[in-house]
Structure 1
């Protein structure tokens, strides 16, 4: 289905015409060969470098959980480091995107394109380590980052209560910018939780149309699906405000600041999980959203399950991508973990091939072996309220 969508949507042609922003490791004070070799070692890099005032640092929000072996609180910390001065001539890239989405030269929207484009053109800085002041209580060392400049570290944390949201800040020199503040939500092993797709499930993205993706990503104001913010507020209230939310998207990590601001404005606080395979690659934005999404989402849900295997999960997705297949697979893999699945039947955009994606036979196949009272296809969020109330009422 992914291949047919890309063929009908002319994705390959659009990707081939996008500006060629190659993966670019920023200039270093060491030999480029040494830097390149050490970046393959990731966290085992023996010569990590400190963040400077010319760098951009991102700290991603996360969820703390209890270790199954020690019962201690811990969490996975994700950090990324870039060079503020990318060296890429952004104006040419802006003009190219503007032309593709039908914006004339000098249009005010070009400023929006440039702002949102920066995370795609900043050079990455592998091998950097980042210090974090956690809750003004202790210092946590992260990194060094790997070849893609991203570090992933699981760290033991101090005691807090279920549902507490703890703020931390990167300890960096003056001049460093980026996502320097992060939040950690504490989640006990039991209760309910939510795993939600973003694109065309709770945010208008038009993932079946390459030009639609470019426009919604770089030009249009981020817009929630009508009625979904209210539904999520209701879900949070019914399953308790302390329940963890995971926003699992096939969008690349380049969009983290953009999506984080959108979610903060319209939806409950949660951990955003994105793909990390396309730094400095505009065509990767399109391919990430349309290729291998089922395997990627199942892999990330495996990780969420390893953190919170006893939670009762509500999964929300849509019919434009492989959410039905991914949720069906994860239901069968972990019996009893997923309690409700909601698939938004997308009918309000002119998506190529959407009729095929909305066929009842597609959903029946995706949810083979899943009880009919677990999975639900809806067009309007109002259809979901009573189903949620009944499910939570049966198993509070």
Structure 2
């Protein structure tokens, strides 16, 4: 079994994804800069309180020889679901991402709970404050750099990590043996650690696959409005976009259970929340979230709204490396840079993307609908992309016939 470093999420702290035109329009129309000025309290400083040894050695990244194995009494690990692919030699590989935290270190949630409650208009003592506290907790617990965890990889004890300065490890591992098949699912668990299990879905080199945005594509998030983001992320029960669960179920059946990738600009700290939502409404798949290093809520909003095109194209390049012969469908919405991201990726790898579907979002506070839904915007975004490939829809029912037609082409 071979091990090599991988970088879908772990290296993102070193990458600077600059704002483009669409990011600036989104930020301006949603008045994010003014909102950021009100939310710079350093409530997340505790996330970066770790030992001198871990702090210093973490600069060595995944090659750190001074790492510490997680302690199940004091540490917790999230193992992220992933997709296995075959390399040029036919061996099955996958990228294993894990996030490391010190348990119960972000105990005082009262300040941030009160701030969110005030912003969204909750009365003091509202029962929704318990929901806010629960969801904000993963953003407050201290991250753990320079740590590792062992997993049972198909009967072989295998180390993940050590984690980087951002408390994340990312390792490309080759599965032992060859007895695996397309669409197989394997549950992986940590050894002697308090860790969530993960699922690996095996995807053969050919067939269909889908890259889906999350926020305002399959989940109501109101990304154009900072208050809307607070409500839908920390207060309300997550709500699917009407008609999208049914569409994705139809796609699963029509395309013979394709490989699914959920690509979001949301920070990885929301993984349990978003994974639970996805599990309720949508097909299993790999959820790729953005690594985030910030110490106040201004950074949280910047993470959602800055450099999203460069970030998404960078992640899609990695997926292309894994499955270059699969035919992909890309699904997104008009609130941010999905059209530009998918258009750029199509031009980089002609023929890899078989269809692009963009949901036209309407009626969201803080969204410049006149620009975001302007036909000229879509024509520019999809310059060089055949008109038969991309389609802007309002009702998911518009896509059923288009998906069925793909299976006959």
TM-score, normalization: structure 2? Answer: 0.91
Q: Aligned-pair distance for 1:24?
A: 3.2
CA distance in 2, matches of 1:359, 1:224: 25
Q: Aligned-pair distance for 1:133?
A: 1.3
Q: Aligned-pair distance for 1:17?
A: 1.9
CA distance in 1, matches of 2:328, 2:315: 14
> 1:332 matched to which residue of 2?
347
Does 1:373 pair with 2:396? no
> 2:31 matched to which residue of 1?
10
CA RMSD in angstroms, aligned pairs only: 1.4
Q: Aligned-pair distance for 1:351?
A: 4.1
Instruction: Give a deviation string over 1:308-339, Cα, whole Å, max 9, x none.
Output: 00000000000001000000000010010000
Q: For residues 283-322 of structure 1, what are the structure 2 equivalents within 5 Å?
A: 283-322=298-337
> 2:163 matched to which residue of 1?
145
CA distance in 2, matches of 1:272, 1:283: 24
> 2:249 matched to which residue of 1?
233
Instruction: Give a deviation string over 1:63-83, Cα, whole Å, max 9, x none.
Output: 000112x22100000011111
- Asked if structure 2 preserves the Cα contact closer than 8 Å seen for 1:121 and 1:280, the reply is no
Does 1:393 pair with 2:408? yes
CA distance in 2, matches of 1:75, 1:12: 39
CA distance in 2, matches of 1:189, 1:281: 42
Does 1:193 pair with 2:209? yes
Q: Aligned-pair distance for 1:16?
A: 2.5
Q: For residues 19-30 of structure 1, what are the structure 2 equivalents within 5 Å?
A: 19-20=41-42, 21-22=44-45, 24-28=47-51
Q: Aligned-pair distance for 1:96?
A: 0.8
CA distance in 2, matches of 1:54, 1:279: 23
TM-score, normalization: structure 1? Answer: 0.94
Q: Match for 1:65 among 81, 85, 99?
A: 85
Instruction: Give a deviation string over 1:118-147, Cα, whole Å, max 9, x none.
Output: 111000110111111134x22221000011
CA distance in 2, matches of 1:48, 1:58: 18
Larger RCO: Structure 1 or Structure 2 (Cα < 8 Å, ≥ 6 residues apart)? 2
Q: Aligned-pair distance for 1:92?
A: 1.2
Instruction: Give a deviation string over 1:35-91, Cα, whole Å, max 9, x none.
Output: 3220111111111101111112110000000112x2210000001111113255211
CA distance in 2, matches of 1:281, 1:255: 15
Q: Match for 1:204 among 203, 206, 220?
A: 220
CA distance in 1, matches of 2:291, 2:187: 24
> 2:182 matched to which residue of 1?
162
- Asked if structure 2 preserves the Cα contact closer than 8 Å seen for 1:235 and 1:388, the reply is yes
CA distance in 1, matches of 2:275, 2:144: 22
Q: Match for 2:58 among 31, 34, 39?
A: 39
- Asked if structure 2 preserves the Cα contact closer than 8 Å seen for 1:148 and 1:279, the reply is no
Q: Aligned-pair distance for 1:26?
A: 3.7
Instruction: Give a deviation string over 1:188-235, Cα, whole Å, max 9, x none.
Output: 000110000000000000000011011111001100000000000000
> 1:224 matched to which residue of 2?
240
CA distance in 2, matches of 1:59, 1:281: 25
Q: Aligned-pair distance for 1:354?
A: 1.8
Aligned pair in 2 of structure 1 residues 280, 67: CA closer, same or farther (>3 Å)? farther
> 2:134 matched to which residue of 1?
115
Q: Aligned-pair distance for 1:281?
A: 4.1
> 2:75 matched to which residue of 1?
55
- Asked if structure 1 preserves the Cα contact closer than 8 Å seen for 2:54 and 2:67, the reply is no
Q: Aligned-pair distance for 1:12?
A: 1.8
Q: For residues 274-289 of structure 1, what are the structure 2 equivalents within 5 Å?
A: 274-278=289-293, 280-289=295-304
**Number of equivalenced pairs:** 383
Judge which range, 345-354 or 381-390, deviates more: 345-354
Q: Tell me, which stretches of 5 or more residues in structure 2 are unaligned?
A: 1-21
Q: Aligned-pair distance for 1:348?
A: 4.0
CA distance in 1, matches of 2:74, 2:252: 40
Judge which range, 272-281 or 160-169, deviates more: 272-281
- Asked if structure 1 preserves the Cα contact closer than 8 Å seen for 2:46 and 2:141, the reply is no
